[in-house]
Structure 1
Amino acid sequence: MGAPRLLAGLDQAPRLDRVGHLTTHGSLPAYRPDELVDLADNIDLRGRGGAGFPFSRKLRAVMRSARARDGMTAVVVNGSEGEPSCLKDKALLLHAPHLVIDGAVLAAAALNSEEVVVAVTRSDVEQSVREAIAERGPAGGRVRVARLPERFVTGEGTAMINGLNGGPTLPSGQKVRTSERGLGGVPTLLSNTETFAQLAVAARLGALDYRTTGLPAEPGTVLLTVAGSTVVETPTGAALSYILELCGTAPGQGVLVGGYHGKWLDPASARAAEVSRQSLDSLGARLGAGAVLPLPEDTCPAGEVARVTRWMAKETAGQCGPCVRGLPALADVLEDAIRGGGRAALEMLEARMKVVLGRGACSHPDGTSRFVASALAVFPDEFRDHALGSGCGRRVLGALPLPEDESPERLVVDWTLCKGHGLCVDVLPDVVRLDADGYPSQASMPVPGQLRQKALRAVRRCPALALRIQD
């Protein structure tokens, strides 16, 4: 698919240190602020973290805010990538960190920013960035790396800024533009890892050479994570089916594009799709953070969707009703439907999807609801057959990746003592689910670290003393 740009040099070394980076990419040229804005405009550089917002507009917005705020600004690289189906930003920060830092430093110079923060969630990524900063010597002085909790909502703009400012890493629920008030309260340029890497490549090539690959209206390359495991770089305009073929897979029963807030494409649409905004827009989808998840023929679509929906419900920010109550209820009804809950369960599922829309403090409830609605539209026969009791006879193979349970602690039920009071689910709805008789549906449940205090409260509140936390 042509010579790599972002991943150049990685056929020679697993990680490009400072010397390897400069040997591969050359020195970073200087740009005046207006020149950098023009460059981003000329190549139509968009954010690669999900929304696809024009980068030049972000630059201009921070510049305007800075003029009204004594000129102070900051730059934040969003390297959180809290979705398990996405690996491209981790790949860049682990293997080509200097390219990302180059783009951030270039933007910081144009904005006269004193501080550049690379926000990450994994220890190995943090170590790679620290090593890259050290390799740059005095030139890396304005750059630092910060570690935030590894959660789905960490990458939301206000959640990330809250965490970097010392508060909880949770969405604020307010329409706060980071370009007006971000890191330390100053106007902040916040964008995703790949976006800054693309800026660094474009700065070296110039607009004309950058546009020699990809589509005229969407020039350049894009990073994709295929099947949750393979990161590839492709020019825009490539056929999605060809990318899947190169990665040793096929559209199968359908392809989820854009990750767990994305949309399912049926096999025919997936074969017709190109890697471009225009092509995916015509199919009602968008590339988002670049996750492409084909569903193999031998797994159960309904079970896969239910499994991800339950995980999404557990990833709630815990601060608004649609997340705290609405998403677990959505997951419950979906599981009931695929266990043979009948047409009434499918009707309830439709109602549950609608009730969370447009009411959350962030986009998580909406995105989760759209994920389920898209699956119902692409796999209607599967969900109907499961609801009516016949099912599909296939196992759930875990084709949609989820993080492994890394929690060292579990909430354990002593069945000789449990009386089914149900107080535990009131305290800990993200962990405990009740069966049809009102008892916990599992005897042992993993406790995420952020819910440990609630788990202790559930243990203390159990009237029958039937709960304990066990390593």
Structure 2
Amino acid sequence: MNARNVPLPDVPHVVTVGLPHLTSGFDLAARLDLGTHLKVHGPLAPVTGEHLATLAEEVSLLGKGGAGFPFGRKLRAVARAADRRGVPPVVVVNSSEGEPACRKDTVLINRAPHLVLDGALLAAEALGARTLLVAVTRDSTEASVTDAFAERGLTDRRIRNRGIRARIVRTPERMVSGEASAVIRAANGGPALPPGRRERAAESGVAGAPTLLSNAETYAQLAVAARLGPRRYARTGVPDEPGTVLLTLSGAVARPLVVEVPSGVPLGYVLQLAGAPPFPQGVLTGGYHGSWIDAYAAHDAAVSRTSLASFGGTLGAGALLPIGPETCPLGESLRIANWLAAETAGQCGPCKLGLPAAAGGLSDVLNGGGQAALEALREVAQAAKGRGACKHPDGSVRFLLSTLNAFTDDLAAHILGGGCGRPTAGVLPLPGPDRHGPARYERAAPSGEKLAVDWTLCQGHGLCADVVPELIRLGHDGYPTLADTSVPLHLRPRAQRAVRRCPALALRIEQPPAAPSAPVAGKALDRRRS
């Protein structure tokens, strides 16, 4: 099995099932430069906007970044907005893969950058766009795009290649930085965070212009479809979802893989190809905003949106993560819940307060909190659902609720107090430590401590709420209202400062109750004899 607690490499090993589309030429070179790319794929003729939208509709091309929005409809919306406003649109390639379990777009950008640029330039020319942006998160992807721009004569300093100016937008390696609105905000010179308001990029995106934004695989699929045509493209895969799919496999596998498979291939075959356990406890589908399915569903499901959805799974961002019987699935999920809580943009209550509270609630359940802890967790998760300024809270809640529904036997074992008896092996990949010390998700882990108020002393000064508003808010009566959650480690210093600043000495931090010690075997035997 793969190494535990180790981040995925930028470019995992790549495997192709059937005839390759996106991975054509990978057996010839580690990276296809422009000359090799043209030898493998051949030239690509320009296409008008109407023909390109029709092509995307005929091959049922959906966005491959997770949302699955029809690309043809998005293309038409940008074209209409540009015509109505008389403003040249902008085309954006979103290869900001900030999710630790996803590498398919990184593989495409690093190994086949010109296939991605083919699709993006095809769309740009069809729309009459003057600007092409490529958003990246990693040094390796930035270097590959820089080289590809140079090979094509694309530059930001002067317009050279068919009237199109191109540049790279660097975003941090964070979950929320890959959301479309965060990429657009970064392209406009702001932080790579969702702006907190819902705006349609097709109407107003980069520099206020209509913007066509999709991920790297979508543009690569568009380039393949334009070369093959709808009939040849549809010969691969299932009729309602033709073509191939790129998947990232990690977790309990022999080694992480990026796999290109025709849609409709049995999921069990793909898992077997990666060296997953023959009968996994569960498979996380769609990545860390996705859903768990059990071993029976993994055996019967196929690689398609429709099939996975029928078993309660999702294709999402194309990540598949099986776990074996040797690890505690709830402990594995708690690691991910802590990471998701640390990835918050900190711009709305459901994200800033709800996700740490949910992670703390899952920790309470694992530590013997009983049925009350489980009900509190469900209440916190439902309260965060559908109320966020971006999609991160919804995706995180989907993952948490799926965990509770998928591993009911383990959940019962923890609720009854004994636990499942298995350690947490750490098979689900997360980022490693950075130069500032522990990884963000480790700093966001709940400490087990809770804030408490002695109401006989509290005088409603409100100083505590100014120090740590993530955990304390003032009610309508001016007195503090405390979040019913453990104090995350990264908020512990401010929680301690709030305690020190309370002039009435009413605020305190309560330590978690000590776990009951297991009875000594000999003494237990003596009691039974008596």
TM-score band, normalised by the shorter chain? 0.7 to 0.9
1:24-423 equivalent positions in 2, closer than 5 A: 24-137=40-153, 138-139=160-161, 142-227=165-250, 229-250=256-277, 252-409=280-437
Tell me the CA shift for residue 427 of structure 1: 4.1
Per mean C-alpha deviation after superposition, the further-off stretch among 219-228 and 309-318 is: 219-228
One-letter identity of the residue aligned with 2:221:
Q
Tell me the CA shift for residue 337 of structure 1: 0.8
Partners of 2:266 and 2:299 within 8 A in 1: yes
Alignment CA distance shift 1:421-1:237 (3 Å): closer
Per mean C-alpha deviation after superposition, the further-off stretch among 132-141 and 199-208 is: 132-141
SS at match of 2:425: coil
Report how many aligned residue pairs link the two structures.
440
SS at match of 2:51: helix
Tell me the CA shift for residue 174 of structure 1: 2.2
CA distance in 1, matches of 2:496, 2:356: 21
User: Which residues of structure 2 form unaligned runs of 5+?
Assistant: 1-16, 154-159, 444-449, 453-463, 472-484, 502-530
CA distance in 1, matches of 2:420, 2:370: 15
SS at match of 1:260: coil
Alignment CA distance shift 1:29-1:455 (3 Å): farther
Partners of 1:89 and 1:193 within 8 A in 2: yes
TM-score with structure 2 setting the length = 0.78
One-letter identity of the residue aligned with 2:45:
P
CA distance in 2, matches of 1:51, 1:273: 20
One-letter identity of the residue aligned with 1:214:
G
Alignment CA distance shift 1:59-1:342 (3 Å): same
Partners of 2:78 and 2:211 within 8 A in 1: yes
Per mean C-alpha deviation after superposition, the further-off stretch among 117-126 and 105-114 is: 117-126
Residue-by-residue CA offset, 1:260-283 (whole Å, 9 max, x unaligned): 111110111111110112212212
CA distance in 2, matches of 1:426, 1:332: 21
User: Which residues of structure 1 form unaligned runs of 5+?
Assistant: 414-419, 431-437, 446-453, 465-471
SS at match of 1:133: helix
SS at match of 2:238: coil
Partners of 2:337 and 2:400 within 8 A in 1: yes
Residue-by-residue CA offset, 1:100-142 (whole Å, 9 max, x unaligned): 1111000000000000100111111111100111111243852
Over aligned residue pairs, what C-alpha RMSD do you find?
2.6
1:442-453 equivalent positions in 2, closer than 5 A: none
Tell me the CA shift for residue 311 of structure 1: 0.6
Partners of 1:260 and 1:371 within 8 A in 2: yes
TM-score with structure 1 setting the length = 0.88
Partners of 2:132 and 2:167 within 8 A in 1: yes
Residue-by-residue CA offset, 1:323-356 (whole Å, 9 max, x unaligned): 1111101111110110111111111111111111
One-letter identity of the residue aligned with 1:52:
G
SS at match of 2:168: strand
CA distance in 1, matches of 2:35, 2:327: 46
Tell me the CA shift for residue 295 of structure 1: 1.1
CA distance in 2, matches of 1:248, 1:73: 45
Partners of 1:46 and 1:53 within 8 A in 2: yes
Alignment CA distance shift 1:160-1:58 (3 Å): same
Name which one, 1 or 2, has greater alpha-carbon Rg: 2
CA distance in 1, matches of 2:46, 2:207: 27
Partners of 2:293 and 2:406 within 8 A in 1: yes
Percent of matched pairs sharing the same residue = 52
CA distance in 2, matches of 1:426, 1:210: 59
